A and B are shown apart, each in its own frame.
Chain A
Amino acid sequence: MQHIVSSSNTSTLIRVGMRDLRRDKWGLLGLCILLSFVVIALLVPYVSVDDPWEQSTTDIIAPPSWNHPFGADIYGRDVFSRVLWGTRVSLGLGVLAALTSFLVGTVLGSFGGYYGGFLDDVITRFIDLFIIIPRVILLILVAALMGTEVWYMALFIGLTMWASTARIARAQVITFKERGFVKAAALLGAGDIRLLFLHILPNGIFPAISNTMLQVGDAILIEAGLSFFGLGDTNVASWGQIINMGMLSISSWWLVVFPGAAVALTVLAFNLLGDSLERRLKPRLR
């Protein structure tokens, strides 16, 4: 049986998407911010900043100074290095959560859209369920009940976010199911799985991807929120954790402003990127 190559123009789309990035100022801005954070995250272990866990008995809640550019928290730990190291945690967590959401959402959504019928009804019900329940509340519940290790949190966050991706994937599959090239492939004997993964998905996946990008930002916000409430992993120097300590002493603005700004910038970057991706992919798929 001759191998039918997918008729997608994936590589062309990527090339075209990237080419116009130069003109899309906001996407560019988002990309720059994101790249800076990624660079920070990757290089931190090799740059000599203070040990983020090193406690000090003299510098408790110290305002920013030459020694501690971002100040110190209640254990005397240097906030600057904690913010820098926090980049790794937050980015890793955000990506993991969004990836989980992407996988679960795409699989469920596309199966539902493809097979239709009862399976589709059940899946749609599930999707609606997860859209109705306010995510953060569910997560607070889960975190309080089941412990707060960082990687579990990332997974759970992803497991609550999949609904929107699923909806998008499902809509895309339903649209593409009827397209000429898919029907042609089916007539030539391609099985269901092959059709889905080699033909439909490579073409229809892009709105889901841009949505997932926005979700990375969301996940980071959620994690920060949970940590702020004391439901985060205390063994990990995430930005939310730093702010959590900041609540204790309301006049220590540096414990809130710096990590808060870090979160805001990262989320902003993902939002800009995600939206710019969505904008540029929309007309081309028409």
Chain B
Amino acid sequence: MPTYVTRRLIQSVPSVILVILLTFVIINLVPGDPSATLAGEFATPEYVAEIRKLYGFDRPVHERLLIYIGNMLTGNLGRSFFYKVPATQVVIERIPATILLVFPSIVLSMVVGLPLGIFAARKYPSRTTAAILFQAYVLFSIPIFVFGLLLMMVFAVYFRILPSSGMIGQFYATGLERAVDVLRHLVLPMLTLALISGVPPFVRLTYSAITEVSKEDFITTARAIGLDEDAVFRRHAFRNAMLPVVTIAGIWMSSAITGAVFTETVFSWPGIGSLLFDSILLRDYTVIMFIFVLTAISVIVVSLITDIIYERLDPRIRLR
């Protein structure tokens, strides 16, 4: 198994490099460069030219790419143009906020989605199934920011029981008070992310996985040898159906990140999503690059982990 892991790791490296290449090329396709903005409002043309040389904007793209990769390998990812501190610092500061938002959302999605999917599958041809699945379709079709805005309008503006934005309302609270404050702010964004991005895929996937598996021959056999429905489900249908669910969890990372960008921006949640959005608008290239690289790496890592788990669960892969 260690060889499987190392093999996959080696396979991932070109992907990461490609991501970096692609982002770098896109960013640099834009005519003009930030030296005018960096030089400031009152800069003279000579000063702008100096800045250009200092930052290396006058060098050709391939040279800059190589310099960037070289720097990256030594851990230097540049300075944020906007915040004037290392890009790594800016980004890493905001990672905890995003994790605080995304992880509970995933957990909530699974806790709600899996049982609903299972329930829908077991009750197969019935109105409950149709209702559950339809709900999943509808939720998935609503734009995530519309849902977020709606929640905000209803609970924060109209009923005024939950805060509408940010992560912290009371700046000087500590300990339990601070925790409660953050949690209150977490409710709406987490609900938005979970209900729109997380629950529908899980419900649909679990449902189709279980219905597919239930049609297999070995299930019929299990029933024929006298196992009762519960046991049939638990020991055979459920376990086999979980396999594709695990795979999808990995791919889902991508859409989770997208959802996080929207949710964080709507609710002004100070995480990486809103940072990315702000940086793009501010043309803060170093931060953008770093977030892209980080995102690509985390998606790759998550799918690697998912694959490993899948391999452990499904002996057929191991024996290939």
Residues of A within 8 A of B (CB): 26, 125, 128-129, 131-138, 140-142, 144-146, 217, 221, 224-225, 228-229, 243, 246-247, 250-251, 253, 256-257, 260, 263-265, 267-268, 271-272
Partner among B144, B157, B257 whose Cβ is within 8 Å of the Cβ of A137: B257
Contact between chains at B153 and A256 (CB < 8 Å): yes
- How many B residues touch A, CB cutoff 8 Å? 45
User: What's the least CB distance linking A70 to chain B, in Å?
Assistant: 15
Contact between chains at B29 and A146 (CB < 8 Å): yes
Contact between chains at B277 and A134 (CB < 8 Å): no
Residues of B within 8 A of A (CB): 14-15, 18-19, 22-23, 26-27, 29-30, 134, 137-138, 140-146, 149-150, 152-153, 157, 164, 251, 254-255, 257-258, 261-262, 265, 276-277, 280-281, 283, 288, 292, 295-296, 299-300
Partner among B23, B141, B300 whose Cβ is within 8 Å of the Cβ of A268: B141
Q: Known interface pairs A132-B296, A133-B19. Does A264 touch B141 (Cβ–Cβ under 8 Å)?
A: yes
User: What's the least CB distance linking B88 to chain A, in Å?
Assistant: 19
Docked pose: A250 CA to B19 CA in angstroms: 38
Contact between chains at B296 and A133 (CB < 8 Å): yes
Known: A129-B18, A132-B254, A141-B23. 18 other contacts (CB 8 A): A125-B18, A133-B19, A134-B261, A138-B26, A140-B276, A144-B280, A144-B283, A145-B26, A146-B30, A225-B144, A243-B146, A251-B157, A253-B153, A263-B143, A265-B141, A271-B137, A271-B140, A272-B137
Docked pose: A114 CA to B290 CA in angstroms: 37
B295 neighbours in A (Cβ, 8 Å): 133-134, 137
- Closest A residue to B28 by CB, please name it: A145
User: What's the least CB distance linking A242 to chain B, in Å?
Assistant: 11
Contact between chains at A137 and B292 (CB < 8 Å): yes
> How many residue pairs, one in A and one in B, have C-beta atoms under 8 Å apart?
120
B23 neighbours in A (Cβ, 8 Å): 141
12 contacts between A and B (CB under 8 A): A129-B15, A131-B251, A132-B19, A136-B258, A137-B261, A221-B143, A250-B164, A251-B157, A263-B141, A263-B142, A267-B142, A271-B137
Contact between chains at B145 and A225 (CB < 8 Å): yes
User: What's the least CB distance linking A118 to chain B, in Å?
Assistant: 14
Contact between chains at A268 and B255 (CB < 8 Å): no
A250 neighbours in B (Cβ, 8 Å): 149, 152-153, 157, 164
- Closest B residue to A279 by CB, please name it: B208
Docked pose: A134 CA to B299 CA in angstroms: 9
Contact between chains at B300 and A132 (CB < 8 Å): yes
Contact between chains at A224 and B143 (CB < 8 Å): yes
User: What's the least CB distance linking A279 to chain B, in Å?
Assistant: 10
- Closest B residue to A145 by CB, please name it: B30
Q: Known interface pairs A125-B18, A133-B19. Does A140 touch B29 (Cβ–Cβ under 8 Å)?
A: no
Docked pose: A140 CA to B275 CA in angstroms: 13
A129 neighbours in B (Cβ, 8 Å): 15, 18-19, 22
